[in-house]
Structure 1
Amino acid sequence: MNTMKKTLSLLTWGTLSLLACSCASNQMEVTPGTPVFSNFTYTGQDAVYEQNPLASDEFYTPILQGCYPDPSICKKGNDYYLVCSSFAINPGVPIFHSTDLVNWKQIGHVLDRPSQLKVEDTGISAGVYAPTIRYNPNNDTFYMITTQFAGGFGNIIVKTKDPMQGWSDPIKLNFEGIDPSIFFDDNGKAYVVHNDAPEKALYEGHRVIKVWEYDVEKDQIVPGTDKVIVNGGVDLSKKPIWIEAPHLYKKDGKYYLMCAEGGTGGMHSEVIFIGNSPKGPFTPAPENPILSQRHLNADRPDKVDWAGHADLVEGPDGKYYGVFLAIRPNNANQVNTGRETFILPVDWSSTFPVFEGGMEPLKAKLKMPAGVTNQTGQNGFFPNGNFTYTEDFTSDTLDYRWVGIRGAREKFISTSPNGLTINPYDVNIKVVQPTSTLFYRQQHLNFTATTTLNYIPRSETDLAGITCYQSEAFNYVFGVTKKGEEDVLVLQRTEKGNSTVLASTPVKETRPILLQVKATGDQYTFSYSTDGKTFQPVGGTVSGDILSTNVAGGFTGAMIGLYATTGNDATAQ
């Protein structure tokens, strides 16, 4: 057994011992209908990391596992900042900081106030799309520009002098389309590029890239300056689809336009163009795409796929690097962890940048930039690879990894020495509105998540427990409710909005009770324990298919939720 596996085993047994002690302790006072969660443990056990231990000069990619798609990156001096799409997650747009591109700390969310984020009534895959973060050295200001499909916003921009200190309220921008990116030239001028519809669509997926001049003083595009700089993609005669996620760069006096092409699925890729002006004309590189996995053997081992939607930055060693999204499908080729943030070195020694290894099967680990020490999972840095995350919910502030969907988490939770109290809403997990659920992203193909629940349901409309959630229409609910005077555990599957109770079982000792979900690729099991030692499955092994993007559609990965409701419809059999 290697060192990582030994560590995981010790952590897991140690945690279960603590949970067993918790179950053996005196029951704490609980308000009926109001659950208290404690001792949450998440352990990832993916074979690819067990089979590829790190050397002292290596690190793992993806650097952000789980639903952290559409990455964008910028730098100021030695500081790097990275943001990702958040869709209907609240707060919106997670932001990370690094000084070496290997070790990342989440420093918060860009859109963390009600005035900035209005996603309360939107589907899980609407909301905030494809942010771009940029630093403008001409006025020492950071900008984040994005599309918010909710709250009447559309395309917006926010700014700050210090990303550690929060961001301005949104400024609504006067153009249509999606995926905006801002570029600051060294002469003080600024430009916005974005995806838009063509004047006349020639085929399904036909899009264009537009550029506008941007008035930095007024924080608005300059009316009448828009121009189409890419029509369709690299070669319109081949009917390329979904040219999007454009970014402008300047190097050696030339302007480069990099875009995603092919749609954010199996045909995804990254392409590059060159021009003498930010407004073009732009000529595609002779060798496009510069990043893709679409041409490779579908049955390759440890498959990484869907690579694209990239952004470039100069690294601490003077070499360029590119962050991008990709997916790691499970054994059934399902995409449950969603689109994740990967990184690769980029060779820009010639005219055009090329992702090193970007057209070959992507590997799990890379060489670190010279002089960097891998601290992932330590000293507050985000973990990756296989790891165990524990949370007792006794701190006054929650880890940034815990989020709500649509509604702010602060509206329904509180923490104390006893753990996390959820004040349940009267709606269940299937509504397109805020629910009383605190979410943690699924970050591995194989994982175990366990929590202790202290709860007294009052009726059949009360339920508290765990949800595995892909969207409001695709999810599992595993929780404690009532059937008559009896406490019962139920397992409910919802597919396309239609719910079925797969199994239920009476439980006499429900205070406290341990609830656990375990995934081995596509196989999920939901279990419980009343003694902290022995777990009993409910409903046997079930498919994780409804937790995948392949089946559920949309753009998000699966999430594990601590859930409570007074509007339960999962009735025990």
Structure 2
Amino acid sequence: MKRNKLNRTIAKPVYTFLLVTFFALLSFSGFGGQKNSVDQNQPGHTPVFTQFVYQGNDEVYNNHPLEEDEFYNPILQGCYPDPSIVRKGDDYFMVHSSFAMFPGVPIFHSKNLVNWTQIGHVLDRKSQLKVQDAGIAAGVYAPAIKYNPNNDTFYMITTQFAGGFGNIVVKTKDPFKGWSDPYKLKFNGIDPSMFFDDDGKAYVVHNDAPDQGKELYNGHRVIKIWNYDVESDQVIAGTDKIIVDGGVDLSEKPIWIEAPHIYKKNDRYYLMCAEGGTGGWHSEVIFVSENPRGPYKPAANNPILSQRYLNPNRANKVDWAGHADLVKGPNGEQYYGVFLGVRPNEKERVNTGRETFILPVDWSGEFPVFENGLIPMEPKLKMPEGVVNNTGEDGFFPNGNFTFTENFSSDKLDYRWIGMRGPREDFISVTSNGLEITPFDTNIKAVAPISSLFQRQMHKKFTATTTVNYKPESENDLAGLACYQSEQFNYVFGITKKNNAYYLLLERTERGKSEIIASTRIDITQPVQLQVKADGDDYRFNFAVNGGNFQNLGGTVSGDILSTNVAGGFTGALIGLYATSANDTQPE
């Protein structure tokens, strides 16, 4: 009614002019749905990904189906290392290292230690996470999450090797609602953790170098403790003290005593640490004291967790076990320990990275011992009494063999999608046609934010497939799939342009040097499906045009450069939807 009245009161020429101007402005500004009305089958200069499907198919899960009272171990597959866990009431929260991934420190929630939901990331904004110029193996290490009942506050303390931070702590009253900006802590070293005693006093423990001039051998480290002021959120100057020198037995030259946690039981203080380095000699050891500041005496039966003494040819091998944290189980009596471990492939290479495992802990004696933690680990565990396994259902994180499908139809992406060195929101937008990635002028080899949306590789045998619509403007433009271990080691499977033709190429980068393994001209007038299939160390890159049959490009290639063994560092392989306007390799 009002519009009709307005139409009658405006002179026709003026009204026509206003209408033309109005729609012109809509067109210019991109409002009015113009962007979303573009035919998704017509490729544009900004790549649009319309689907991503990840399917895991590991033999260990096919050969070991679950019974009703069982769940799989690891509880988090793929690169979720250095777990730390805390309980408040019926709620468990668990965090993990994230290195240069953005956002940082994934945080999970559970009511029963079996069914886990990712509720976000602790460090999810630029004021908390400054990894823009950090290599993949730098950034955020070994977070520890603790709850202080004296002030009803959660703390996450970690080392951030980037942005001038060093050791930091953030805090919150509610982990579901986000965390504070960091408080920079005035001490050196790595792997900090906190302990809050019943009397209200607080402490920080961490790994550090020996006092100057007292280093006895390579890998000689110490554990220090500081008193902590919860009012100023700072260690108290002058209170630092070495409480472990070298490890359990200094005469045996133990290496890399680290990842300390203090627990209190029966009015005694237990210090648990990793020892042996985060590789084949990794283990967990325990000490006891009458005072949180020591002196600490090691248990006679150390280590209390390790896989280092076992047959290297054992079936379903789990290795490198350590870097653990303890928590009481759902019944309040049984303890459990979470820790990292790896599952090498048939060539002993570690492509899935350090994963999160769990074991029950027997603490009926003086010292805790991981049940079956010194014998070959099994792929399944008995669930805590009364727990129903809902893993992979109703928002719970999956494990075992599973399929993850992302249609990019929601503005809120799944939390397992991450960026590298910068927020994913800086380069993605979800439209009605799919996920648009605006290419950065940095490529995958840069130690800088790159425009790639990553997921973790979670299986030795998997298939990952995506569909992309894309028309590169120049030889500098490329978009497609990436398998990424680091800026120095990766595969790129992408569409680019050379002269007036369009090509699909497979590029291998090893130690920063790139080579084109294969390339082929490709029709980009219809959607292109890109696929990577892995079977242990064997990777194959396939493509299909307009829904046709898949064709292989480059044959079978080795996943060696995607393994920790070859690439070094501390991460597992990532699978990325990748775009760049700084492509520096061309098809032949």
Which of 195, 200, 207 in structure 2 is aligned with 1:183?
Answer: 195
Cα distance in 1, alignment partners of residues 186 and 101 from structure 2: 25
- CA 1:510–1:469: 2 relative to 1, 3 Å: farther
Of residues 467-476 and 297-306 in structure 1, the stretch that sits farther from structure 2 once superposed is: 297-306
Cα distance in 2, alignment partners of residues 78 and 93 from structure 1: 22
**Counterpart in 1 of 2:25?**
none
The residue correspondences of 1:347-366 to structure 2 (distance < 5 A) are 347-366=362-381
Cα distance in 1, alignment partners of residues 496 and 186 from structure 2: 50
| Aligned partners of 1:439 and 1:562 also within 8 Å | yes
Query: What SS class does the counterpart of residue 436 from structure 1 fall into?
Result: strand
- CA 1:358–1:280: 2 relative to 1, 3 Å: same
What are the ranges of 5 or more consecutive residues in structure 2 without an aligned counterpart? 1-37
Cα distance in 1, alignment partners of residues 536 and 403 from structure 2: 18
Which of 203, 211, 218 in structure 1 is aligned with 2:225?
Answer: 211
**Counterpart in 1 of 2:288?**
274
Query: What SS class does the counterpart of residue 75 from structure 1 fall into?
Result: strand
Cα distance in 2, alignment partners of residues 30 and 162 from structure 1: 46
Which of 470, 483, 494 in structure 1 is aligned with 2:509?
Answer: 494
Cα distance in 2, alignment partners of residues 487 and 27 from structure 1: 20
| Aligned partners of 1:269 and 1:289 also within 8 Å | yes
Cα distance in 2, alignment partners of residues 141 and 244 from structure 1: 25
| Mapped pair 1:456 → 2:471 | yes
The residue correspondences of 1:46-57 to structure 2 (distance < 5 A) are 46-57=58-69
Letter in 2 for 1:412: F
Which of 226, 240, 258 in structure 2 is aligned with 1:226?
Answer: 240
Which of 241, 255, 262 in structure 2 is aligned with 1:248?
Answer: 262
Which of 428, 432, 435 in structure 1 is aligned with 2:447?
Answer: 432
Identical residues among aligned pairs (%): 69
| Aligned partners of 1:451 and 1:515 also within 8 Å | yes
Which of 310, 313, 333 in structure 2 is aligned with 1:299?
Answer: 313
- CA 1:509–1:566: 2 relative to 1, 3 Å: closer
Letter in 2 for 1:352: F
Measure how far apart 1:27 and its partner are. 5.2
Measure how far apart 1:484 and its partner are. 1.3
| Mapped pair 1:93 → 2:105 | yes
Query: What SS class does the counterpart of residue 142 from structure 1 fall into?
Result: strand
1:48-93 deviation digits (Å, cap 9, x = unpaired): 0000000000000111110000000000000000000000000000
**Counterpart in 2 of 1:519?**
534
Query: What SS class does the counterpart of residue 49 from structure 1 fall into?
Result: helix
| Aligned partners of 2:44 and 2:469 also within 8 Å | no
Q: CA RMSD in A?
A: 1.0
| Aligned partners of 2:224 and 2:240 also within 8 Å | yes
| Aligned partners of 2:43 and 2:525 also within 8 Å | no
Measure how far apart 1:109 and its partner are. 0.3
Query: What SS class does the counterpart of residue 583 from structure 2 fall into?
Result: coil
| Aligned partners of 1:40 and 1:450 also within 8 Å | yes
Which of 524, 534, 538 in structure 1 is aligned with 2:553?
Answer: 538
Cα distance in 1, alignment partners of residues 42 and 305 from structure 2: 54
1:522-549 deviation digits (Å, cap 9, x = unpaired): 0000000014241100000000000000
Measure how far apart 1:508 and its partner are. 2.1
| Aligned partners of 1:455 and 1:511 also within 8 Å | no
**Counterpart in 1 of 2:9?**
none
- CA 1:117–1:509: 2 relative to 1, 3 Å: closer
| Mapped pair 1:417 → 2:432 | yes
| Aligned partners of 2:526 and 2:546 also within 8 Å | no
Cα distance in 2, alignment partners of residues 325 and 30 from structure 1: 46
Letter in 2 for 1:183: F
1:294-330 deviation digits (Å, cap 9, x = unpaired): 1111111111100000000000022100000000111
| Aligned partners of 1:32 and 1:458 also within 8 Å | no
1:305-356 deviation digits (Å, cap 9, x = unpaired): 0000000000002210000000011111100000000000000011000000
**Counterpart in 1 of 2:151?**
139
Letter in 2 for 1:168: S
Measure how far apart 1:32 and its partner are. 3.4
Which of 52, 74, 83 in structure 2 is aligned with 1:62?
Answer: 74
**Counterpart in 2 of 1:163?**
175
The residue correspondences of 1:55-134 to structure 2 (distance < 5 A) are 55-134=67-146
**Counterpart in 1 of 2:325?**
311
Query: What SS class does the counterpart of residue 274 from structure 1 fall into?
Result: strand
| Aligned partners of 1:291 and 1:359 also within 8 Å | yes
Q: Give the TM-score normalised by structure 2.
A: 0.92
Could you list the structure 1 runs, at least 4 aligned residues long, displaced by more than 4 angstroms after superposition.
none
Measure how far apart 1:418 and its partner are. 1.2
Cα distance in 1, alignment partners of residues 381 and 432 from structure 2: 41
Measure how far apart 1:30 and its partner are. 5.4
Measure how far apart 1:416 and its partner are. 1.6
Cα distance in 1, alignment partners of residues 108 and 471 from structure 2: 39
Letter in 2 for 1:308: G
1:276-296 deviation digits (Å, cap 9, x = unpaired): 011000000000100000111
Query: What SS class does the counterpart of residue 566 from structure 2 fall into?
Result: helix
The residue correspondences of 1:398-413 to structure 2 (distance < 5 A) are 398-413=413-428
Letter in 1 for 2:468: L
Measure how far apart 1:29 and its partner are. 6.3
Letter in 1 for 2:147: Y
The residue correspondences of 1:16-55 to structure 2 (distance < 5 A) are 28=40, 32-55=44-67
Cα distance in 2, alignment partners of residues 510 and 338 from structure 1: 38
- CA 1:478–1:283: 2 relative to 1, 3 Å: same
Q: What is the aligned residue count?
A: 548
